[in-house]
């Protein structure tokens, strides 16, 4: 992260190239999976929205930021518990996503594909500026002190915070897959993504399914924002920018429109970034994601998994 | 049951249907015959609300469908098996069938209907968990029909169900339609190849460049020299000698 505050425990860059043993490799792997799980959650939003509307919602990173701010502000009041604040943050991001679709995308349906793209970038800039105006530019620490115990898993040190983040994120991904594959509305969303007219013939209201997709995708981005606000102990208006772009790369890597692809792409990207930082130079960390994006676009533009898989 | 009154419809500037009137009575099997680009699919889409009706009116069972959005049509008892089957290819066969009943609230009965249809079409039970896109063309056609039946339609419209089917599969699909006819389902059957359709139908219409040029009972149409030449594949000599 560019804006990572100095007070942070240096988790990912404290390795010296040259004395990287197997435990260090595993540590980097776990670091990568942790940030990668956040990329995956955001990438799911990109990919689901692309699947049903054929557009990239570049304001996805701002939904991540919105989730984090709402949770952090609620926690700071001292009146709300961690779980309550987490759910409220997700809900806020979800509702913001639905509102965004209403005002920034729905009126533009049927126009040239570049138009909603510009609208999304505009929405992204607007939301960042709004957050800047409301909350100021400085970082906010996570209001709840989380235990930084290190537990041994199979002889390897894992921070309990990382374990919690990883398990929560994977849990949400599993829930999403269950929703998409086994519920009526999940299948209806896939049907709209595959063939809108035929879905309408089944009595499926496409507008409602688009709204539902924004609701679910934005809630996941919000969850990612809260998890990363815990991890980096920092919440600030531009926090969604880089994760948003990296998750976009992850979605492309996994095959945009493909749901399992977004998960695989996000995790892979996180790991590649973390290993790249450790074995090359930590300065290249942010570059890794974009090098991967360029390579994928050049070599395999359809992504690892092709088509609208689910 | 279904009535079209001088319906005009098209895409953008293109006017495809230039005032089409036709009707289908309850319990009837009506076929609509026409060549490539005549506007047959456009007519079915106009009925379903997928293509807006510009002039004229569409009525179904006393309801005015003219301005109704497509997703509201199915709950009135009208189902379309679209041209080219259009199964949801990456969803399982079972999921396709369930989506056919998406608008229905009677969950218990939906499950019973699913069981019944799978009993009637064993291939669908066999492949229930397989992606629909992996079925053969004929199997997909059966799935598309079964999916439409899951909505419990009073009127079933089919757009060229015989398209691209080998003779054996074609016979099987028409057996299904004959059975539906016996059970009292009203059918509007669009075909390019009129032979099988006229055999099954009670009445028929011939559509050419957006206009009905001929109508009558199936027997009358089968005897009509123009129909024989253009749609039954008989040569001039065969007809005129
Ligand atoms: N989505 C569309 N946009 C523009 N024009 C269309 C569209 N769909 C069909 N058309 C045009 O409308 C006319 C009628 O098409 P339609 O599909 O209704 O014919 P059809 O009778 O079903 O033909 P076929 O037997 O080949 O299926 C054609 O000239 C076609 O090019
Ligand atoms: Mg057609």
Q: Would you say residue A7 lies in a domain? A: no
B chain contacts of residue A206, beta-carbon cutoff 8 Å: 71
Q: Is B234 exposed, middle or buried (0-12, 13-18, 19+ CB in 10 A)?
A: middle
pLDDT in tens, A150-204: 777 777 777 889 999 999 999 999 999 999 999 999 999 999 999 999 999 999 9
What CATH number is associated with residue A118? 1.10.3470
- The token pair at B47 is 């009925």
Q: What is the ipTM of this complex?
A: 0.92
Q: B173 CA to middle of ligand 1, Å?
A: 24
- Residue B81 — φ and ψ, nearest 5°? -95, 105
Q: Does B103 reach chain A within 8 Å, measured CB to CB?
A: yes
Q: Would you say residue A304 lies in a domain? A: no
B53 bridge partner residues: B9
DSSP 3-state assignment of B214?
A: strand
Question: Which positions ≥6 away from A165 have C-beta within 8 Å?
Answer: A34, A37, A38, A227, A230, A231
Q: Would you say residue B171 lies in a domain? A: yes
Cβ contact (<8 Å) for B91 and A195? no
Question: Which positions ≥6 away from A286 have C-beta within 8 Å?
Answer: A1, A2, A242, A246, A273
Q: Does B94 reach chain A within 8 Å, measured CB to CB?
A: no
Greatest pairwise CA separation for chain A in angstroms: 63
Would you say residue A23 has pLDDT above 80? no
Residue A7 pLDDT: 40
- Identify the closest residue of chain B to A191 by CA–CA distance: B88
| Average pLDDT for B33-50 | 95
Tally of structural domains, chain A = 1
Q: Would you say residue B93 lies in a domain? A: no
**Confidence grade of residue A102 (pLDDT, cut at 50, 70, 90):** very high
Which ligand has its closest atom nearest to the C-alpha of B43? 1
Cα–Cα distance between A30 and A45 in angstroms, integer?
Answer: 23
**Confidence grade of residue B174 (pLDDT, cut at 50, 70, 90):** very high
Q: What is the pTM of this model?
A: 0.91
Residue B128 pLDDT: 95
Would you say residue B159 has pLDDT above 80? yes
* Structural contact between residues B124 and B118, judged by C-beta atoms closer than 8 angstroms: yes
Q: Does B134 reach chain A within 8 Å, measured CB to CB?
A: no
* Structural contact between residues B132 and B139, judged by C-beta atoms closer than 8 angstroms: no
Alpha-carbon gap: B45 to the closest alpha carbon of chain A (Å): 10
Residue B237 pLDDT: 52
Cα–Cα distance between B72 and A207 in angstroms, integer?
Answer: 13
Cβ contact (<8 Å) for A205 and B79? no
**Confidence grade of residue A10 (pLDDT, cut at 50, 70, 90):** very low
pLDDT in tens, B196-238: 899 999 999 999 999 999 999 999 999 998 888 888 776 555 5
- Residues in chain A whose beta carbon is closer than 8 A to a beta carbon of chain B? 184, 187-188, 190-191, 194-195, 197-206, 307-310
> For testing the chain B interface, which of A183, A186, A197, A201 should be mutated: the one with the most B CBs within 10 Å?
A201
* Ligand 1 cavity residues, CB under 6 Å: B 11, 14, 16, 34, 36-42, 83, 192
Q: Which domain holds residue A127?
A: 30-299
- The token pair at A38 is 């956040």
Among A195, A205, A307, beta carbon nearest to B88: A195
pLDDT in tens, A255-266: 999 999 999 999
The kind and range of the H/E element at B184 are none
B chain contacts of residue A211, beta-carbon cutoff 8 Å: none
Give the number of beta-carbon pairs within 8 Å between A and B: 66
Q: Would you say residue A310 lies in a domain? A: no
Q: Is the dihedral of CA B135, B141, B146, B148 positive or negative?
A: positive
- The token pair at A86 is 């987490």
Among B50, B91, B103, beta carbon nearest to A203: B103
Residue A226 pLDDT: 98
Q: How many residues does chain B have?
A: 241
Residue located via tokens 């206009």:
B211
Among B49, B89, B102, beta carbon nearest to A204: B102
The DSSP letter of residue B92 is B
Tally of structural domains, chain B = 1
Residue A2 pLDDT: 41
What CATH number is associated with residue B197? 3.40.50.300
DSSP letters, chain A, are -TT--TTS---SS---TT---HHHHHHHHHHHHHHHHHHHHHHHHHHHHHHHHS---TTHHHHHHHHHHHHHHHHHTTSS-HHHHHHHHHHHHHHHHHHHIIIIIGGGTTS-THHHHHHHHHHHHHHHHHHHHHH-SS-B--SSPPP--EEEETTEEEEHHHHHHHHHHHHHHHHHHHHHHHSHHHHHHHHHHH-HHHHHHTT--HHHHHHHHHHHHHHHHHHHHHHHHHHHT-B-TTTTHHHHHHHHHHHHHH-TT-HHHHHHHHHHHHHHHHHHHHHT-GGGHHHHHHHHHHHHHHH-TT-SS-SS--
| Average pLDDT for A301-305 | 82
Q: Would you say residue B125 lies in a domain? A: no
Q: What is the residue with the minimal CA distance to atom 29 of ligand 1? A: B37
- The token pair at A232 is 């980096």
Q: Would you say residue B24 lies in a domain? A: yes
Q: Does B75 reach chain A within 8 Å, measured CB to CB?
A: yes
Q: Would you say residue A309 lies in a domain? A: no
Q: Would you say residue A46 lies in a domain? A: yes
Q: Which domain holds residue B168?
A: 2-86+154-240
Residue A12 pLDDT: 46
Residue A5 pLDDT: 41
| Average pLDDT for A86-106 | 97
Q: Would you say residue A148 lies in a domain? A: yes
pLDDT in tens, A34-47: 999 999 999 999 99
Residue A44's nearest CA partner among A274, A270, A257, A307 is: A257
Residue A308's nearest CA partner among A80, A28, A5, A47 is: A47
């Amino acid at each position: 992260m560019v804006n990572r505050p100095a007070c942070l425990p240096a988790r990912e860059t404290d390795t010296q190239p040259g004395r990287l043993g197997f435990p260090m490799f595993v540590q980097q792997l776990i670091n990568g999976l942790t940030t990668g799980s956040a990329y995956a959650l955001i990438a799911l939003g990109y990919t689901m929205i692309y699947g049903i509307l054929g557009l990239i919602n570049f304001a996805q990173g701002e939904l991540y930021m919105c989730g984090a701010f709402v949770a952090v502000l609620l926690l700071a009041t001292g009146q709300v518990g961690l779980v309550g604040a987490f759910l409220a943050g997700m809900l806020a991001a979800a509702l913001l996503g639905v509102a965004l679709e209403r005002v920034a995308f729905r009126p533009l349906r049927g126009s040239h594909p570049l138009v909603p793209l510009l609208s999304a970038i505009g929405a992204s800039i607007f939301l960042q500026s709004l957050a800047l105006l409301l909350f100021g530019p400085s970082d906010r620490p996570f209001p709840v002190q989380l235990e930084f115990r290190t537990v041994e898993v199979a002889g390897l040190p894992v921070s309990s915070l990382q374990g919690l983040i990883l398990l929560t994120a994977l849990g949400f991904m599993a829930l999403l897959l269950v929703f998409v594959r086994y519920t009526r509305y999940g299948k209806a969303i896939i049907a709209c993504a595959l063939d809108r007219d035929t879905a309408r013939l089944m009595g499926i209201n496409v507008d409602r399914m688009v709204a539902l997709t924004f609701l679910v995708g934005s809630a996941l981005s919000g969850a990612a924002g809260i998890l990363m606000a815990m991890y980096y102990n920092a919440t600030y208006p531009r926090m969604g920018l880089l994760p948003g772009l990296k998750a976009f790369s992850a979605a492309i890597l996994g095959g945009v429109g493909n749901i399992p692809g977004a998960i695989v792409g996000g995790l892979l990207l996180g790991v590649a970034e973390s290993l790249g930082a450790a074995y090359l130079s930590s300065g290249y960390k942010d570059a890794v994601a974009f090098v991967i994006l360029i390579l994928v676009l050049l070599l395999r533009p359809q992504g690892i998994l092709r088509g609208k898989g689910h | 049951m279904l009535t079209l009154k001088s319906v005009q419809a098209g895409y953008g500037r293109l006017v495809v249907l230039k005032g089409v009137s036709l009707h289908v009575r309850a319990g009837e099997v009506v076929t609509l015959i026409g060549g490539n680009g005549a506007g047959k699919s456009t007519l079915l889409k106009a009925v379903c609300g997928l293509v807006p009706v510009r002039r004229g009116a569409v009525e179904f069972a006393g309801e005015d469908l003219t301005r109704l959005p497509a997703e509201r049509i199915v709950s009135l008892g009208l189902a379309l098996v679209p041209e080219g089957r259009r199964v949801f290819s990456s969803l399982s066969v079972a999921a396709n069938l369930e989506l056919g009943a998406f608008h229905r609230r009677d969950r218990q009965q939906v499950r019973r209907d699913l069981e019944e249809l799978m009993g009637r079409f064993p291939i669908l039970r066999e492949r229930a968990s397989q992606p629909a896109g992996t079925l053969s063309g004929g199997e997909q056609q059966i799935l598309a029909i079964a999916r439409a039946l899951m909505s419990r339609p009073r009127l079933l419209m089919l757009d060229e169900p015989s398209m691209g089917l080998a003779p054996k599969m074609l016979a099987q699909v028409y057996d299904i339609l004959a059975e539906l006819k016996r059970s009292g389902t009203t059918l509007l059957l669009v075909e390019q190849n009129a032979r099988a359709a006229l055999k099954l139908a009670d009445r028929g219409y011939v559509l050419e460049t957006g206009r009905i040029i001929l109508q009558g009972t199936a027997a009358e149409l089968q005897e009509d020299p123009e129909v024989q030449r253009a749609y039954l594949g008989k040569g001039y000599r065969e007809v005129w000698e």
